[in-house]
A and B are shown apart, each in its own frame.
Chain A
Amino acid sequence: MYATRRHKLTGLLYVAPALLFVLVFTAYPFMQMVWMSLNNWSLITPPRFVGLDNYTRMAADKQFWVSFGYSLKYTILITPILMIGGYLVALLTSTNTPLRRFTRTVVFVPVVIGLGVSSLLWSWLFNPIFGLFNRFLGELGLIDQPVVWLGTDEGVSTWAIILSVVWKVLGFGMILFVAAIQAIPAEITEAAMVDGASYRQRVTRVILPLTLRTVLLVTLISIIGSMLAFDQFYIMTAGQPFNQTATAVFYVYLNSFPYLKLGYGAALSLVLAALLLVFTIVQLALSRRSNA
Chain B
Amino acid sequence: MTGRVRRPGRFLGASFAAEGVDQTRVGALPGRLWQGRTKYLVGAICVFLSTIMLMPLVMTVLASVKSTADAAAVPPLYVPRGLSLDSYQRLWDYQAGLPAYLANSFGAAFLTIAFTLLLVVPAGYGLARFNVPFKEVIFILLLLALIIPYQALLTPIFLMFAKLKLTNTLIGLAILHTAIQLPFSVYIMRNSFEAVPRELEEAAVMDGGSSWQVLIKVFIPAVVPAIVTVTLFAFITSWNEFLGALVIMSKQSSFTLPVILAAARTETALGGTDWGMLQAGVTISIVPCVAIYLLLQRYYVSGLLSGAVK
Q: Interface of A with B (CB < 8 Å)?
A: 1-3, 7-8, 10-15, 17-19, 21-23, 25-30, 32-33, 36, 89, 92-93, 99-100, 102-103, 105-110, 112-117, 120-125, 127, 129-132, 135, 138, 167, 172, 175-176, 179, 198-200, 214, 217-218, 221, 224, 228, 230-231, 234-235, 238, 249, 252-253, 256-257, 262, 265-266, 269-270, 272-273, 276-277, 280
Contacts and interface: CB of A to CB of B under 8 A. Distances in A.
Contact of A29 (B123, B129, B153): B153
B53 A116 contact: no
B118 A17 contact: yes
B309 to A, nearest CB: 7
Contacts of A131: 76
B179 A114 contact: no
Given A22-B145, A26-B144, A117-B285, A13 B126 contact: yes
17 contacts: A10-B126, A11-B132, A14-B215, A29-B156, A32-B159, A33-B153, A36-B156, A108-B293, A110-B56, A112-B292, A114-B239, A114-B241, A125-B56, A130-B71, A238-B266, A249-B243, A277-B147
A108 B158 CA distance: 33
Contacts of A270: 152
Given A2-B129, A131-B76, A276-B149, A116 B242 contact: yes
A106 B55 CA distance: 11
Given A238-B266, A252-B152, A15 B132 contact: yes
Contact residues on B (Cβ < 8 Å of other chain), bracket: 35 or more
Contact of B278 (A7, A124, A234, A266): A124
Interface string B18-54: 0000000001000000000000001101110110011
Contacts of A121: 56-57, 60, 279, 282
Nearest to B71: A130
Nearest to A232: B242
Interface of B: 3, 27, 42-43, 45-47, 49-50, 53-54, 56-57, 59-60, 63, 71-72, 74-76, 78, 118-120, 122-123, 125-127, 129-133, 138, 141-142, 144-145, 147-149, 151-160, 175-176, 178-179, 182, 186, 202, 205, 211, 215, 236, 239-243, 246-247, 257-259, 261-262, 265-266, 273, 275, 278-279, 281-282, 285-286, 289-290, 292-294, 297, 300-301, 304-305, 308-309
A108 to B, nearest CB: 8
Given A106-B54, A221-B308, A1 B202 contact: yes
A195 to B, nearest CB: 13
Contacts of A15: 122-123, 126-127, 132, 138
A24 to B, nearest CB: 8
Contacts of A280: 147
Contacts of B262: 116, 120, 234-235
Contact of B258 (A105, A108, A117, A265): A117
B182 A22 contact: yes
Nearest to A98: B3
B57 A132 contact: no
Given A26-B179, A99-B43, A269-B153, A112 B289 contact: yes
A23 B119 CA distance: 13
Given A114-B285, A262-B155, A132 B76 contact: yes
B309 A129 contact: no
Contacts of A135: 75-76, 78
Contact of B155 (A89, A106, A115, A266): A266
A18 B120 contact: yes
A127 B131 contact: no
Contacts of B147: 273, 277, 280
B53 A106 contact: yes
B49 A107 contact: yes
Given A22-B144, A249-B243, A265-B155, 18 more contacts: A14-B122, A15-B122, A18-B142, A29-B160, A92-B45, A113-B240, A113-B290, A114-B258, A116-B261, A124-B279, A124-B282, A132-B76, A200-B27, A234-B242, A235-B265, A262-B159, A269-B153, A269-B155
Contacts of A112: 236, 289-290, 292-293, 300
Contacts of B71: 130
Nearest to B52: A167
Select the residue from B74, B125, B126 with max chain A CB neighbours within 10 A: B126
